[in-house]
Structure 1
Amino acid sequence: MALLDVTNLTTRFHTRDGVVHAVEDVSFSVEKGQTLGIVGESGSGKSVTCYSLLGLIPKPPGRIHAGQALFDGIDLLSQSEKQLRSVRGKRISMIFQDPMTSLNPYLKIVDQLIEPLALHENIRGAEARQRAIEALAEVGIPKPESRVDSYPHEFSGGMRQRVMIAMALITRPELLIADEPTTALDVTVQKQVLDLIKQRQRDLGSAVVLITHDLAVVSETCDHVNVMYAGRIVESAPAAKLFQNPRHAYTRALLQSIPANQKKGEALYTIEGLPPSLTQPPSGCSFRPRNTLGDASRCLTEHSPALAEVAPGHFVQNCPGCLA
């Protein structure tokens, strides 16, 4: 049985400008020890999908309209806030995008590290401090005995991200959600952070959901990949299959956008246009106006294409124009 099994998740935001269809009918599962990558452009619904599972979307204007998210048999979407707090930060942890805004600038690192221990394991005092020091050492921060008393602004961007990883893993969660964990980091630090997440995953046996827009990162770290566009999954496959044989026009466009895939001297490929407004989602294929690698004239116009299995474990939206 999957550790996390999400079925038909639908999340919308009710705003003055209309209803934003942020996530529509999204289904996926994560096995124990597996790394699932969720990729797509900004605004495709990646983060909202995971925030919905943990009850972190603002209500109002956010509202979960439908779906089920079974985590070890518990439906996260039907839990009260009190019930969710017993899971969030203990059995499921999250690394947020920007550690500078996620860490409290007024509190020492030690106070922020021991908070989940006090809340979930009733560990305080000298024992909690020692756990905090060990957590910093495990993520490679030098001189953790003294650095644990530092403030966030005294760390570099890469070191702050390591602190976030230490904080997320200090309770040894079964599932770790990493939301763009390498944003704004240089390539060397980016690799260090990803290697660190992989190493701690192996040590703890945790499952990982990696949210990113970077397919190069996904190719090196993930076992399975969900490609999202306009709030829906357009392609889902084991990572090796997806990179060897991408089927949807959007997936092919993302892969072609990777600079390393361009021939020297050629202009970089970019996906034309912008994603559709999710306050007025298109009635047919949402990628139709930007589809230059398939056949836009054959894209569906009356209804949204459903996912179809085109190979074992490989699902793609069944739109003739995007599959062309």
Structure 2
Amino acid sequence: MPLLDVRHLTTRFHTRNGIVHAVEDVSFTVEKGQTLGIVGESGSGKSVTCYSLLGLIPQPPGRIHSGEAIFDKTDLLKASEDQLRKIRGKRISMIFQDPMTSLNPFMKISAQLTEPLALHENLTGKPALHRAIQALEEVGIPNAEERIHSYPHEFSGGMRQRVMIAMALITRPELLICDEPTTALDVTVQKQVLDLIRDRQRKLGTAVVFITHDLAVVSEMCDHINVMYAGRIVETAPKDELFRNPLHAYTRSLLKSIPAAQPKGEPLYTIPGLPPDMSNPPAGCSFQPRNRIGNPDLCLKTVPPLSEITAGHYAQDCPGCLAK
């Protein structure tokens, strides 16, 4: 039985300019100890998918229209706020993209690190502070006993991200969601943060959902990959299979756009055009206007279903996007 089983999740935003179809009919599972990568361009629905699971979508304008997300026999999408509060931050934690906006600038790191311990484990005072200092030491922050009484602005970007990791892991969650945790960091710090997440995962046995637009990161971190485009999963497969045999034109376009994959001296490949406006989603294949690798003339006029093309390898069954 999977740790998390998401079925047919649909999330939309009801705005003055119409309904934005952010996530449409998304299904996936996460096994214990597994690392699942969710990749795609900005606006593809990656973050909204995970925010929906934790009840972090502002309602209104957001609304979860359908689906279920079973976590240890509890449907997260139908759980009460009290039920979610007991799970969120304890059994499921999240590392957000920008630690400067996620950490409270008016509170010392000590108060922010010990808060989940007080809420979920009734641990306060010196025992909580000792655990918080230990958490900072485990993520590689020097002089943790002194630095824990600092404010977020007194840390560098990489150190703030380490604080976020310590905060997410301090309750030893079963599932960790990482929402592009390395986007704002330079390459050296990025590698340190990725190694840190992987090390803590190995020691704690935590399952990880890794949201990113960086295929190089998922190739290093993940066991299984979901590729999202226009609010839907267009391809899903084990990592090695996906990189060895990408099927959908969008996945092949993403792989082709990796700078390291370009012949030296040749212009960098870019996917032409822009993702569709999801307040007016296309009736058929959403990638058809940008499809230069497959055969756009063969793209379906209705939304292609996600089908098993080879064993364990699923892709939207669109003849134009599967054409090579």
What TM-score, normalized by structure 2, do the two folds share? 0.99
Amino acid at match of 1:311: T
Amino acid at match of 2:152: P
Task: Please state if 1:13 is matched with 2:52.
Answer: no
1:233-264 CA-to-partner distances (Å, cap 9, x unmatched) read: 00000000000000000000000111010111
Name the SS of the counterpart of 1:42 in structure 2.
Answer: coil
Q: Which residue of 1 aligns with 2:236?
A: 236
Q: 5+ residue gaps in structure 2?
A: none
Q: How does 1:1-324 map to 2 (within 5 A)?
A: 1-301=1-301, 303-324=302-323
Name the SS of the counterpart of 1:267 in structure 2.
Answer: coil
Residues matched between the structures, number: 323
Mapped partners of 2:34, 2:219: distance in 1: 14
Q: 5+ residue gaps in structure 1?
A: none
1:26-68 CA-to-partner distances (Å, cap 9, x unmatched) read: 0000000000000000000000000000000000000000001
CA RMSD of aligned residues (A): 0.5
1:136-158 CA-to-partner distances (Å, cap 9, x unmatched) read: 00000011111111111111100
Mapped partners of 1:61, 1:81: distance in 2: 18
Mapped partners of 1:148, 1:243: distance in 2: 42
Name the SS of the counterpart of 1:210 in structure 2.
Answer: strand
What TM-score, normalized by structure 1, do the two folds share? 0.99
Name the SS of the counterpart of 2:167 in structure 1.
Answer: helix
Mapped partners of 1:231, 1:279: distance in 2: 11
Mapped partners of 1:63, 1:228: distance in 2: 20
Q: Alignment identity in percent? A: 76
1:117-173 CA-to-partner distances (Å, cap 9, x unmatched) read: 000000000000000000000000011111111111111100000000000000000
Q: Which runs of 4+ in 1 moved over 3 A?
A: none
Mapped partners of 1:171, 1:76: distance in 2: 19
Cα shift at 1:72? 1.4
Amino acid at match of 1:24: E
Name the SS of the counterpart of 1:25 in structure 2.
Answer: strand
Mapped partners of 1:2, 1:224: distance in 2: 14
Mapped partners of 1:55, 1:189: distance in 2: 31
Cα shift at 1:73? 1.4
